[in-house]
Structure formats: structure tokens, C-alpha cells
Amino acid sequence: MVNNCSRIGFVSLVEYVTFGAEKPNIRMSDLQNLEALVTQVRRDILRQVHKVNSGHPGGSLGCAEFFVALYQELMDRNEDFSMDGKNEDIFFLSNGHISPVFYSVLARSGYFPVDELNTFRLLNSRLQGHPTTHEGLPGVRIASGSLGQGISAAIGAALSKKLNNDSHLVYTLCGDGELQEGQNWEAIMYAAGNKIDNLVVTIDLNGQQIDGSTDNVLPMGNIKGKFQAFGWDVLEIEKGNDLDAVITGLKNAKSRTGNGKPICILLNTVMGNGVDFMMHTHAWHGKAPNDEQLKVALSQNPITLGDY
């Protein structure tokens, strides 16, 4: 068990780069190191989608800080991956299209070799376009891609933990546009009505979806008010691309679990964050940069831990 309280996971950048792939679930520590990891994760995202000229960089870039904070600072994770995830915190990615950030952080947290990011979306790869258990990729516990299913699975896993007297938490990330899927609201109703209080659902509020802004495609009104009306404990992270703020917000959420209500985090992010020409637009939701664009994007995110 890697215990984030004791910070035994601290490793130097050199050690991390050299041995990261062999040491499962390595945990970095101070903020500077984590910032460096965020930058490297952005590079990983851009290079993955560029290589195969497909994939979803926009939402991935917007959630780099969230994933780094979650896997490096928040989750109490076991050294070896097991599907059952007993006696550890577990995470479900509901908006599976942001697989590039998920894969990067899983690899750089030791779940599989970082070099495997080279196989993203290629034939016979474990790194499918959208995450799946089908190819046996460590770190993934359910397939996602068809939207709206993650909260339900997370509730199930949270109930399983309660039945197993396992006090660990279940985390999920959903897109804001994804909330347009009706199944979410079935799940949101169930979780509050049945006091699923070992569950932390984060909504990536970037205000964008494929066809435009969420306000234009299908206005969702007051999302905070909706979750509150359903009986959830809702907190907001105003600066979802400020690593320190994300860590603080996630820790706050964690401290509020176990009180009879499911927890919702509204995470305000900028789609395409960290690459100036990708920010504040839905244009890069599912589009890869060309060679020239990649060069510019990478120049804005210089190598920190080393490219795969």
C-alpha cells in the first residue's frame, strides 16, 4: 500500500524517469514535481494524438491537473493493479474519450510502461481509442466511451465497498456535456436517495462539446443547483487548471465523504489548457494537431520528466 500521508512515494525526477515503468504506482510529492508531471502529461497527450492523427486533446489537456492531483496526491492505491480494487480507492473515467490524459497518468503512475503510450490507437494495442478492460490494460476497470455510464458503475463499486466493509472511496470523472445523457440523472437520484457517501463525482465544467458550447447545444442551466436539488453535497473548484487549487479542492471533497451524501465537485477547466491556440474553443475536442501545430504546442510545454 502506498500511503500518501507518509509520503513514502517521493522519488526524484531522475529516479522517476528511469524507474517509473518498473515501479507500480509511484507517487510524486511536492508541488514543483507535480507541476513538472502536469507539463509532461500535456506533452504525452499531444504526442499520442499527433502520432495517429486522431483522439481527443481538448478535454484531455483541460484535465491534466485533475488526474495528476488524483493519482499522485489523493488516491490511496495498492501497488499492484487488481480488478476488484479491494482496500484501495478506485477511479472510473466516464467520459472515456479523454483517454490520452488517463493513459499518460496511469503510465506515469506505474500501472504500465510509459513507452506503451507509443501504441495509442494502434492495431493490437491495449491503449484503445476509448479505455477498455477488454485488452487487459492495468488501471482500467470498465469500458467507457458511450457516455453517461460512469456514475452508475461507480455507485455499484461504492456499494460493493460498503458490503465488503472497505472504507475506501470511489472517484469518477464526467464531462459537463455528458450530463445531457439521461442515465446520469437516474444515477444521481439513486446515489443521493441511498446515501452513497463513499463516492466523489467530478464534473469537468469546460462548457464545450463537439457541436459548440454546452449553452448552445443543449443548455443545462444551473448544474450546481441541480445536484443540490437532488441531495448531493456540492463543492466547486474555481481554478480547475491550478494544481494547488485542485489538490486542495479534492482533499476538501475527501474530507466531506462519509456524511450521508454523495459528493459532487464542479471543476472549472479550460478545454485545451496549456496550448494557447487550443484553449477556449471546442475546435480541438476531437482533432489532432498537425506537425507544425505540434511543434508550437510542445514548445509551450517543454520536456520535464522525459518523453516516452
Partner 1 sequence: MKKYTNTGSKDTRSGFGAGLTQLGKTNSNVVALCADLTGSLKMDEFKENHPERFFQVGIAEANMIGMAAGMTIGGKIPFTGTFANFSTGRVYDQIRQSVAYSYKNVKICASHAGVTLGEDGATHQILEDIGLMKMLPGMTVINTCDYNQTKAATLAIAEYNGPVYLRFGRPKVANFTQEDQTFEIGKAVHLQEGNDVTIVASGHLVWEALIAAETLNEQGLKAEVINIHTIKPLDNKAILNSVSKTRCIVTAEEHNFLGGLGESVSRVLAENTPTPQEFVATKDTFGESGTPAQLMEKYGLNAEAIVKAALKVIARK
Assess 125 for contact with partner 1 (CB under 8 A).
no
Residue bearing cell 482533432: 287
Angle at 122 between CA 307 and CA 181, to 5 degrees: 100
Contact between 117 and partner 1 by CB under 8 A: the answer reads no
* Nearer Cβ to partner 1 (2/151): 151
Q: Where are the beta strands (DSSP E) in the chain?
A: 90-93, 170-175, 199-205, 208-209, 212-213, 233-237, 263-268
Nearer to partner 1 among residue 43 and residue 161 (C-beta) = 161
Rounded to whole angstroms, the Cα distance separating 248 from 265 reads: 12
Find all residues with CB under 8 Å of 156, minimum gap 6, and list them. none
Binding flag, residue 219, partner 1 (CB under 8 A): no
If the CB atoms of residues 64 and 151 are measured against partner 1, the closer one turns out to be: 151
Q: Does residue 47 contact residue 118 with C-beta atoms inside 8 Å?
A: no
Q: For residues 279 and 125, give the distance between their C-alpha atoms in angstroms, rounded to a whole number.
A: 30
Binding of partner 1 by 157 (CB under 8 A): yes
| 164 touches 127 (CB < 8 A) | no
68 to 107: interface string for partner 1, x by CB under 8 A: ---------------xxxx---x-x---------------
C-beta of 86 vs 295, nearer to partner 1: 86
Strand partners, 209: 212
| Residue linked to cell 451524501 | 261
Cβ neighbors of 110 (< 8 A, separation 6 or more) are: 20, 21, 22, 23, 24, 25, 26
Between 186 and 236, CB nearer to partner 1: 186
C-alpha cell at 29: 510529492
Q: Considering CB under 8 A, how many residues would be counted as binding partner 1?
A: 38
Query: Considering the rule CB under 8 A, would residue 137 count as an interface residue with partner 1?
Result: no
Based on the shown chain and the rule CB under 8 A, indicate whether residue 142 belongs to the binding site for partner 1. yes
Q: Shortest approach of partner 1 to residue 194 CB, angstroms?
A: 8
Q: Is residue 156 part of the contact set for partner 1 (CB under 8 A)?
A: yes
Q: Which of 17, 69, 98, 155 binds partner 1 (CB under 8 A)?
A: 155
Among 5, 123, 182, 222, contact with partner 1 (rule: CB under 8 A)? 182
CA 66-42-139 angle, to 5 degrees, is 55
Q: Of residues 37, 187, 288, 294, which one binds partner 1 by CB under 8 A?
A: 187
The residue within the footprint of partner 1, chosen from 129, 138, 145, 286 (CB under 8 A), is 145
153 binds partner 1 (CB under 8 A): yes
Single out the segment in contact with partner 1 by CB under 8 A; choices: 8-16, 49-57, 140-148, 212-220.
140-148
Q: How many Å apart are CA 79 and CA 104, to the nearest integer?
A: 18
- State the residues that interact with partner 1 by CB under 8 A: 83-86, 90, 92, 132-134, 141-146, 148-149, 151-161, 163-164, 166, 182-183, 186-187, 189-190, 194
